[in-house]
Chains A and B, each alone.
Chain A
Amino acid sequence: MIEIILTIVLAVISLMAAVCAVRAKSTLHAVIASGVVSLSASILFLLVAAPDVAMTEAAIGSGLTTVVFLYALKHVKQNRRDSDD
């Protein structure tokens, strides 16, 4: 029973975060929201007994991808500032 409740809660969180990632005004918020989608997806994978996939998703999807996106965002902002000057 508690697994079903947890699954529903995580599914709702990941749907809400996905909508946030699409609708967010600031790109930073969108990147963080997409990290939240990956994090809840990794816990969902753990609940359906796929720990290998859950580990990879948590490390790559929510950890590394978010960081790489944030660095890319920083580079884009720097380039925009240079072209404005």
Chain B
Amino acid sequence: MIKYMLIILVLIGMAWLFIPLATEFFTPDQANMLASSYVYGTATDLNMPNAVTSVVVTYRGLDTLGEVTVLFLATAGVGFFLRRKNQSACQRRPGSEVLKSGANLLSPLIIMFGIYIFSHGHLTPGGGFPGGVVMASALLLLLMANENYSFSHGLINLTETVSGLGFVLIGLAGLLLLGLNHFLDPRWLGLGQFGKLFSAGAIPMIYGFIGLKVGAEMSGLLDSMQCDGGEQ
């Protein structure tokens, strides 16, 4: 009884703490200095329409590099702890007929949609991370539908390595071609015409590498999770 009273007291206290958040909330009608410099810089400096991508890839590009590294460490940890002891121990349930037909029809379209998301990241909403996950979901669909389906781990690892290296090399190219203070600056490649697919410097390349890397890591993670693990 006294436990419930304490819980209710704590909840009331937290509600009281959050009252100012609700009462003093207002929607700002103009962007502050930092936000407006990002929004105007997206169009004038980087020559592209999507402000979110410009912040994620350029203005906060170092954070994205860190994020990609964290993701790599996480998948490496899963791969280490769930590594398969013997290949034949992997037993999967066969998918139903509906799942099989659906997977065979839809997975190429889903992979194409994932590529669209990350290759148009500088023009439309989306980017490397959602695009990669969408591609991994197509591979998951194939893995669930066909019990004998497997993809090449060498290819997945090669994709991951090449994309990670490519991302860092593009960042270093900015450092070499534009001078110091320009690590991960995409403007060393021509800015092109506003709103076209090949524009905004190296941003489509960076997002392509991020998308391939995230897709490869997520596919490897799902593959190592869906087999094995039981007999450790």
Contact = CB atoms under 8 A, between A and B. Distances in A.
Interface of A: 51-52, 54-56, 59-60, 63-64, 67-68, 71-72, 75, 78-79, 82
B178 to A, nearest CB: 27
A52 B129 CA distance: 10
30 contacts: A51-B125, A51-B126, A52-B125, A52-B126, A54-B125, A55-B125, A56-B129, A56-B130, A56-B133, A59-B133, A59-B134, A59-B137, A60-B129, A60-B130, A60-B133, A63-B137, A64-B133, A64-B137, A64-B222, A67-B140, A67-B222, A71-B222, A71-B225, A71-B226, A71-B229, A75-B225, A75-B230, A78-B229, A79-B230, A82-B231
B125 to A, nearest CB: 4
Contacts of A79: 230, 232
Contacts of B125: 51-52, 54-55
Contacts of A64: 133, 136-137, 218, 222
B164 interface: no
Contacts of B230: 75, 78-79, 82
B117 interface: yes
Q: Which 7 A-B pairs have the closest CB atoms?
A: A78-B230, A51-B125, A75-B229, A59-B133, A71-B225, A55-B130, A52-B52
Which of A59, A68, A72 is the most central at the interface, judged by chain B CB atoms within 10 Å of its CB? A59
A51 B126 CA distance: 8
A72 B225 contact: yes
A72 B224 CA distance: 11
Contacts of B218: 64
Contacts of A68: 221-222, 225
B55 to A, nearest CB: 10
Contacts of B232: 79
B127 interface: yes
A79 B232 CA distance: 8
Interface in B175-232: 218, 221-222, 225-226, 229-232
A51 to B, nearest CB: 4
A47 B9 CA distance: 34
Interface string B7-22: 0000000000000000
A67 B137 CA distance: 10
B225 A55 contact: no
Contacts of B126: 51-52, 55
B229 A63 contact: no
A78 B229 CA distance: 8
Given A52-B130, A67-B140, 14 more contacts: A52-B127, A55-B117, A55-B125, A59-B133, A59-B134, A59-B137, A60-B129, A63-B133, A64-B133, A64-B136, A71-B222, A78-B230, A79-B230, A79-B232
